[in-house]
Amino acid sequence: GSTWEHVQQAPPDPIIGVNDSYRADTDPRKLNLGVGAYRTEEGKPYVLRAVREAEAALAADPAANKEYLPIAGLPEFNRLSRELALGPSHPAIRDGRVATVQALSGTGALRVGAEFLAQHLPPGQPRVVYLPNPTWGNHKTIFGRAGMQVREYRYFDAKTRGLDFAGMCADLSAAPPGAVLLLHACAHNPTGVDPSPEQWRQLLALTQERKLLPFFDSAYQGFASGDLDADAASVRLFASAPGPQEMVLAQSFAKNMGLYGERAGALSVVCKSKEVAGRVESQLKLVIRPMYSNPPMHGAAIAARVMADPRLNALWKEELAGMAHRIKAMRQALYGQLVARQLPGDWSFVLKQIGMFSYTGLSKAQCEVLTRKWHIHLTMDGRISMAGLSAASCPYLAEAIADVVT
Ligand code: PLP
């Protein structure tokens, strides 16, 4: 018999599985609204011009080589990444209080961060992380596998399709001191619902009062509003709080630079002193070294070049604003189509929600009809990727939604 005879079939990943069902669908009307990847109006993947130009420059550089990166990754990339999040002249950066390591995109940053926390939270303190309900499906597994105990806080209010702020505050007020609080920096996935600036201030106060450790997941900086600084407001608010506030930050360049498969990301730990940051960095390296030794070079080199070169940087910001604008235009178009069909209920959430996704509130049964009958592929929680829509496909989606809700 096989050594692995007893091994059970693992369930398919709920998000990646949507791609498989889309690929297998032969209907010409088929639509992929599952995975969170930007598509052009023509439904094609988009490589940013800034990225293409950075790649061309890298390929032409005679000094470039394929040596290993340091364990912590490309130093220039790490510096520019934390500056992108906190702002270049942030006191924490100036004081050398931020330990940054390159990571395998946002997922890798979360995982290395979770491992570090599981190992190095103060002795005797609970290894607990609070995740929003709902959250990106991978969060639970990432923190769970790293050895953290996972708990949820209320986040989405199904009635208003908005934030359950009172529920959120009540749950966080009951968290034990030292618990880790995972926050989506902007464009919450899957709901598209973010706290208001005033609510962020209250959350900061609650965090400090309850002595929680904020862990920001920043997977959509610039992608939500089209403006890199505006989308970093929550992270900067917390990082600038007196104390100084300590925190952890996972960054991804998958969406905002379109570097999905290049796996470019960063993990930063904001500490109270430069001396502590140095020790923290040494332990982050000890998490990385036995896992994959050092990170891949290409994506980080591209991102560093795009951020460092003023012309490429300006081009990137322009393209980023263009992507965010197209998604907002899709919200308008879909909303218009839904309203025109005089569907029951209030659909203004399509306009109010932020970022790549709309969280429709459609039931699993309704989603199944969308896929089976209408060849619209989406996750069964009713989340649709607005980036997968086009002016041409909006009426079709609205017609399908009308069919399942009436
Ligand atoms: N965090 C959130 C909230 C996400 O939505 C995603 C991707 O969808 C990620 C992290 C990580 O993505 P990646 O590992 O591709 O950077």
- Residues 47-103: pLDDT tens digits? 999 999 999 999 999 998 999 999 999 999 999 999 999 999 999 999 999 999 999
Q: Is 189 in the pocket of ligand 1 (CB under 6 A)?
A: yes
For ligand 1, what atom is nearest to the CA of residue 188?
Answer: 3
Best CA proximity match to 227, nearest among 115, 324, 140: 324
| Per-residue buried b or exposed e for 250-279, using 16+ beta carbons within 10 Å of the residue's own CB | bbbbbbbbbbbebbbbbbbbbbeeeeebee
Question: Is the alpha carbon torsion for 339, 343, 344, 347 positive or negative?
Answer: negative
Between helices 310-340 and 394-405, what is the axis angle to 10°?
Answer: 40
Is 0.90 exceeded by the ipTM?
Answer: yes
For 295-329, how does the pLDDT look when each residue is reduced to its tens digit (9 = 90+)? 999 999 999 999 999 999 999 999 999 999 999 99
Average pLDDT for residues 10-22, to the nearest whole number? 86
Decide if 274 is catalytic.
Answer: no
The amino acid at residue 133 is: N
Q: Is 105 in the pocket of ligand 1 (CB under 6 A)?
A: yes
* Residue 100 φ then ψ, to 5°: -125, 135
Decide if 255 is catalytic.
Answer: yes
Decide if 364 is catalytic.
Answer: no
**Whether pLDDT at 35 is above 80:** no
Q: How far is the CA of 106 from the centre of ligand 1 (A)?
A: 5
Q: How far is the CA of 373 from the centre of ligand 1 (A)?
A: 30
Q: Is 219 in the pocket of ligand 1 (CB under 6 A)?
A: yes
Reported pTM: 0.96
> Which helix (H) or strand (E) is 217 found in, with range?
strand 213-218
Q: For residue 22, give both structure tokens.
A: 């889309």
Provide the 10 A C-beta neighbour count for residue 97.
23
- The three-class DSSP label of residue 236 is helix
164, 171, 194, 255: the catalytic one is: 255
Q: For residue 244, give both structure tokens.
A: 């100084």
For ligand 1, what atom is nearest to the CA of residue 265?
Answer: 16
* DSSP secondary structure of 117-140: HHHHSPTTS--EEEEEES--THHH
**Separation of alpha carbons 365 and 371, rounded Å:** 10
